[in-house]
Amino acid sequence: MVLRIENLSIDSTMPVEMAQFWAEVLGWRIEEDDDDDEVALLPPPGSAEAGVLPDILFLRVPEDKAVKNRLHLDLRPDDQAAEVARLEALGATRMDIGQGGDATWVVMADPEGNEFCVLRGRSTAEGGPATPAG
């Protein structure tokens, strides 16, 4: 049996705006469609992620987010501090969920309050450029 995750679906009261936010965050593209109730975000054509990673689908729901996510994204940047600053400029906010001051990741929330983490920068040993651990 061959099974592949096609989409990660995220409930949203404003799917177009959330797709636009995450397109900026990830450098992905919004699939052109006239349906504002279901907006798909795809990796750029020809990128290493295209056809490999699942698409992200934002689905309109009437209710606001009420509790902590059961599933969240962990993002691995080259430079954690620079990415956190860029994400804050796009509208993300830092969150304290009890991670403590010695955490090597930064917990953030998108404009609808969905939590995600920005991990420390890649090290040379992890195959990326050397950056200070954050």
Same domain? For 82 and 50 the reply is no
**DSSP assigned state of 127:** T
pLDDT at residue 124, rounded to an integer? 39
pLDDT at residue 128, rounded to an integer? 54
Same domain? For 27 and 76 the reply is no
Q: What is the pTM of this model?
A: 0.85
pLDDT at residue 126, rounded to an integer? 54
Sequence-distant (6+) residues with CB within 8 A of 111 are 17, 18, 21, 91, 92
Determine the structural domain holding residue 75 and report its residue range. Answer: 71-134
Same domain? For 58 and 109 the reply is no
Same domain? For 80 and 55 the reply is no
Phi, psi of 38 (to 5 degrees): -150, 105
Same domain? For 77 and 123 the reply is yes
pLDDT at residue 125, rounded to an integer? 35
Low-confidence spans in the chain with pLDDT less than 50 = 124-125, 130-134
With residue 58 as reference, give the H or E element that holds it.
strand 55-60
Nearest to 103 by CA among 82, 117, 113, 122: 117
